[in-house]
Amino acid sequence: MFLKAVLRTAALIPFLYNAASAQTACNNSPSLCNRAYNNITHLGAHDSPFLRDKSTSFSTSGNQYYDSPTQLDSGVRLLTAQVHKNGNSSTGASQWHLCHTNCGLLDMGTLSNWLGTIKTWMDNNPNDVVTILLVNSDNASPAELGSEFKTAGIDKYAYTPPSLSSVPKQWPTLQSLISNNTRLMTFVASLSTPSSDYPWLMDEFTFIFENDFNNQSPTDYQCTPARPTSLNNSTSSAASSGRMFLMNHFLYNTGLFGIQTPNSDYANITNAQTGVGSLGEQLTKCTAVYNKPPTFTIVDFTNMGPAMESVDKANGVSGATGRRTLPTVALNEKVSGGPQTRGSVLAVVVAVVVAVAFGS
């Protein structure tokens, strides 16, 4: 009996070791635990909820092949989304939806439902810090956005900065955020009047600056700040402001009526470590400009490249743990078994006609 008990205990040792190892990793790596939040490059999914998959008939407006929880599984730690006000046809009441440019073009449902999926993921991954960046397209108030977070129950994880009007002298480490269970950073572009009632909703451009996001050629990328405009495109002003750098790194195609859609054809190079306009080379260039890597970089089609390799290199991370490896190919009818359509182009045209008709 004693021998059997010893053997059973010995058989459990590898599993106990793996569990303990996972617990020591912050955002998939032990080496990141004691680093400040702003001293890490966080991989971001641009327009995270807007999918180009079977569920959207492979809409050409979609920016990602995999949903937000799957993006998080693969190592993404920043999720961006556009928030629009959308009327409920049944009740006439307005709801806050995740819509790509226009709710007639691509509507991925309510903000609270999406936040709920992220909350579930965070419940199951207690050693991870997640950042959400919302584009406040229809000027939702802090109370309106805050209500969505409370409905989802995700506000319990929210980090509150020392001040809503100035950059902290020092951001907490990942381990500190994890230990305090304030593992959710939330930025909004933009909040004209941040609210002390919702102090965890941070105005993006108080804390962050961005390079230009409107790039159509692999040679278009710049490291100079485009927003906030108060920085006057000055890298020295951006650096001295103390803001964190968000590096946009994705391409657009311009089609009918000048409408832009995500460029999927070049994504494997856009998100690669090397090549003209590659993520790896641009991270290196911008690191040289600011003497530190960007705090965030956001890409379309995060599985392509794969983008995570360049971010790991920027962070000096090797042997990351607890990640899901995704195929580095585009989803289409052959990969997923669904029909690829161009129906979304008609939706774009309809959305534009409606917008013009109503003067929006």
Does the annotation count 84 as an active-site position?
no
Quote the pLDDT of residue 143.
97
Residue type, 48: S
Residue 320 lies in a domain: yes
- In the chain, DSSP finds a helix count (H) and a strand count (E) of 12, 12
SS3 262: strand
Burial class (CB in 10 A: 0-12, 13-18, 19+), 300: buried
Asked if residue 68 lies in contact with residue 117, where contact means CB atoms within 8 angstroms, the answer is: yes
CATH number of the domain within which 59 lies: 3.20.20.190
Tokens matching residue 225: 């700040």
Residue 224 CB-density burial (10 A; 0-12 exposed, 13-18 middle, 19+ buried): middle
Q: Considering 42, 84, 97, 100, which one is annotated as catalytic? A: 100
42 carries an active-site annotation: no
The reply to whether 108 falls in a domain is: yes
How far apart CA 265 and CA 267 sit, in angstroms, is: 6
- Residue 158 CB partners (closer than 8 Å, separation 6+): 149, 182, 184, 186, 200
Enter the DSSP assignment of 29.
B
| CA dist., res. 74 & res. 114, Å (int) | 18
Count CA atoms closer than 13 A to 298's CA, side-chain side: 22
Question: Is residue 27 in some structural domain?
Answer: no
- Asked, for residue 17, whether it belongs to a domain, the answer is no
Q: Does the global pTM surpass 0.75?
A: yes
How many domains does the chain fold into?
1
Partners of 333 in the beta sheet?
none
pLDDT of residue 93: 66
Among 335, 337, 275, 331, CA closest to 305: 275
Q: Is residue 350 part of a domain?
A: yes
| pLDDT by residue, tens only, the chain of 360 residues | 444 443 444 444 333 333 334 458 999 999 999 999 999 999 999 999 999 999 999 999 999 999 999 999 999 999 999 999 997 656 556 899 999 988 988 999 999 999 999 999 999 999 999 999 999 999 999 999 999 999 999 999 999 999 999 999 999 999 999 999 999 999 999 898 999 999 999 999 999 999 999 999 999 999 999 999 999 999 999 999 999 999 999 999 998 888 889 999 999 999 999 999 999 999 999 999 999 999 999 999 999 999 999 999 999 999 999 999 999 999 986 655 444 444 344 444 444 433 333 333
Is 1 inside any structural domain? no
Cβ–Cβ under 8 Å, residues 350 and 61: no
Q: Residue 234: which domain range?
A: 32-357
Say if residues 189 and 133 touch (Cβ distance below 8 Å).
yes
Query: Which run of H or of E encompasses 284?
Result: helix 279-290
Measured CA to CA in angstroms, residue 268 lies from 49, 247, 256, 274, 329 at distances of 20, 18, 25, 10, 8
For residue 146, give both structure tokens.
């805050």
39 falls within a domain: yes
SS3 breakdown of the chain: % helix, strand, coil, rounded to 5? 35, 20, 45
Catalytic residue, candidates 42, 46, 97, 249: 46
